[in-house]
Amino acid sequence: MTNYADFHRRSIQDRDGFWTEQAALIDWHKPYEQVCDYSKPPFATWFKGGETNLCHNAVDRHLKDRADQNALIFVSTETNTEKAYSFRELHAEVQRMAAILKAQGVAKGDRVLIYMPMIAEAAFAMLACVRIGAIHSVVFGGFASHSLASRIEDAQPKVIISADAGMRGGKVVPYKHLLDEAISLSSHKPAKVLMVNRGLADLAPVAGRDVDYAAERAQVMDTVVPCEWVASDHPSYILYTSGTTGKPKGVQRDTAGYTVALAASMKHIYMGNPGEAYFSTSDIGWVVGHSYIIYGPLINGMATIMYEGLPIRPDAGIWWSLVEKYKVSVMFSAPTAARVLKKQDPAYLTKYDLSSLKALFLAGEPLDEPTASWIGGALNKPIIDNYWQTETGWPIMAICNGVEKAPTKFGSPGKAVYGYDVKLIDENTGAEITEPNQKGVIAVEGPLPPGCLQTVWGDDARYVKTYWSSIPGKVMYSTFDWGVKDADGYFYILGRTDDVINVAGHRLGTREIEESISSHPNVAEVAVVGVADQLKGQVAVAFAVLKDPSQADTPEAALKLEGAIMRVVDDQLGAVARPARVRFVSVLPKTRSGKLLRRAIQAVCEGRDPGDLTTMEDPAALQQVKDSVAR
């Protein structure tokens, strides 16, 4: 077993030698000529001159040794469907999807937007895109038309792949009308829309544009579509993430660096072995779904479970029954899910044989000690936190048990992962903080390791300005998270430095929610803050100043207006962005220069001391916030 401190040090000091070893974990069509080209910082090109294919590494290369092993296991407790696809069957389905896309004119470099529920066809679509060198952009199936339209406009897809509906908690969630409205709102119109009909909701096809997946698939059952070998830095996908402005940021990922990073992480962090089963409870609309439902496990020759449903339907034992049935060795979920399970009968956690399970990994939001202790004790399995971002694509901090076994510490996602030169920085001076337990901004020295974002899609200047320009006097990647590091090198995350909040593992920009609420005709001004919540980690709470306060002058009227404002957010951004409460005040707390005192508002909501308010323009404004919270 290697010493992890040496392993990490080598990844920074002998970068080329270290990543040459990791690159041997994947197949190459053409060997690379240079491990890392960092001649134009902060832009890094990994494995320059090489050629590979993400789909080949996830599917084709396993046909030789494990063609009949389970590859994709689709389970829907919403439709009571369960189907396992072997690597051979997955290979056939991906080629069929690729043939359909090519028939619609999709070629290398074209974008394909995927707006789908958690169904097997969504996995086929992602893999088919990278197979032919197209660039996919998956949009979470719960997003409303307004959000979807902005992503269509930015990515400019040639084809959109969708379905009639998803299902959640036994309720049908129709997609087609949301997609049609989004296309009507967007200045960019896709040439074709490929529809998967699950028979759940009305489809109302648009003549000349909409194409039926089942009919097209029947035409290409035996079509062979070879992998398109692409340059190492060819974009594999765009994944949009909330920012502090209303315009979404398209995180652009490369091909070779991402494939290598995932292959290495499966070995060093997640301890998964070929032939085993991996179960991530995330959604393909998020980065965890890309990296650790679709690509990572398959690259590693593992079976991956794709689950549509809730953790408590038909009962709170459903996840653990799947662990038993498919002998899952590695499981990945979020702290919110654990907190949901904590409210259920604990007998479900011991009802099934979990002997195959090595560990439960949790990420997406800070993991609190009571939740970690409870689920770890209930399952009698290691609970391993890890910390990363949509932008990085794989963990920045973790316990790399595949390199050297190490203890976990409650409240800490672990140490800096190999390849990441993580520093704590003083936000005012840019100086590195080396004393233990001192608060600073978590930042990474360039180059970022393989697998991290190349740039913001179509906007290099925004990439540099957003991520590499906020540390005084230095060109360093900012995570926009506060943290401390203890004497043993374990990090602890203290929260955001910007205006992004984390609701049940979903990152939401407060500016987006504010812009949506502001579109209500009676809202003059609004502030949205993230407030600590026992179940979801954080929830959004809005404070609105009304143009006509008389519309909220009774508790009944205020409740009615609050509901109307929430519906606006539902319609524009989707239910995931809906604030937990909209409270009405006559003035918002601001500095004398007009800056919103978000941290003070948040502190009041959480019952904390709001701190130094000497710069505040109107002290009575914060009292209004206190009064509205108390009501």
Q: What are phi and psi of 188, to 5 degrees?
A: -90, 130
Instruction: Specify which of 98-112, 133-147, 374-388 reaches the highest per-range mean pLDDT.
Output: 98-112
The CATH number for 422-496, chosen from 3.30.70.2860, 2.30.38.10, 3.20.20.70, 3.40.50.10470, is 2.30.38.10
pLDDT of residue 146: 86
Q: What tokens were used for 429?
A: 């001076």
Q: What is the mean pLDDT of residues 176-189?
A: 96
> What is the 3 state secondary structure string of 435-447?
CCCCCEEEEEECC
410 or 17, higher pLDDT: 17
- Residue 246 predicted with pLDDT over 90: no
Euclidean distance between CA atoms 390 and 404, whole angstroms? 26
Greater confidence (368 vs 414) lies with 414
- Give pLDDT, residue 616: 66
Q: Give residue 18's pLDDT.
A: 98
Q: Of 55, 134, 52, whose CA–CA distance to 94 is shortest? A: 55
* CB within 8 Å of 630: residues ≥ 6 apart: none
Would you say 345 and 316 are in contact if contact means Cβ atoms under 8 Å apart?
yes
Lowest mean pLDDT among 106-120, 284-298, 361-375, 429-443: 361-375
Does the pLDDT value for residue 74 go beyond 60?
yes
| Confidence at 336, pLDDT banded by 50, 70, 90 | confident
What is the Cα–Cα distance from 91 to 181, expressed in whole angstroms? 34
Do strands 328-333 and 277-280 pair parallel, antiparallel, or not at all (unpaired)?
parallel
What's residue 241's pLDDT?
Answer: 87
The two structure tokens encoding residue 246 = 């209303």
Q: Would you say 269 and 262 are in contact if contact means Cβ atoms under 8 Å apart? A: no
Average pLDDT, the chain: 93
Q: Model confidence over 541-570: pLDDT tens digits?
A: 999 989 899 999 899 999 999 999 999 999
> Which pLDDT value is given to residue 244?
52
Tell whether the model's pLDDT for residue 245 goes beyond 70.
no
Q: pTM to 2 decimals?
A: 0.86
Lowest-pLDDT range of 3-17, 308-322, 517-531: 517-531
- Give the per-residue pLDDT at 493: 87
Per-residue confidence (pLDDT) for residue 243, from 0 to 100: 58
Mean pLDDT of 283-298: 96
Q: If you average pLDDT over residues 239-257, what whole number do you get?
A: 84
**422-496 and 500-630 agree in CATH topology:** no
Q: How far apart are CA 5 and CA 406, in angstroms?
A: 11
The rounded distance, in Å, linking the Cα atoms of 68 and 75 is 19
Amino acid at 60: D
The arithmetic mean of pLDDT across residues 193-210, rounded, is 96
pLDDT in tens, 337-355: 888 888 889 899 999 999 9
pLDDT of residue 141: 87
Cis, bond preceding 449 (omega within 30 deg of 0):
no
Burial class of residue 628, CB neighbours in 10 A (0-12, 13-18, 19+): middle
**Annotation: CATH topology of 500-630:** GMP Synthetase; Chain A, domain 3 (3.30.300)
Mean pLDDT along residues 386-404: 96
Alpha helices in 294-342 (DSSP H): 296-299, 318-326, 335-342
Please say if the pLDDT value at position 292 is more than 80. yes
> What angle (nearest 5°) sits at the alpha carbon of residue 338, between those of residues 332 and 344?
135
Residues forming beta bridges with residue 344, ordered by sequence position: none
The pLDDT confidence band at residue 494, using thresholds 50, 70 and 90, is confident
Q: Does the structure show a pLDDT above 90 at 215?
A: yes
pLDDT band for position 356 (50/70/90)? very high
308 against 428, higher pLDDT: 308
Task: Report domain extents, the chain.
Answer: 422-496, 500-630
Listed residue (287, 283, 468) closest to 390, CA to CA:
287
- % residues pLDDT > 90 (the chain): 75
pLDDT at 593 over 60: no
Q: Which amino acid is at 310?
A: L
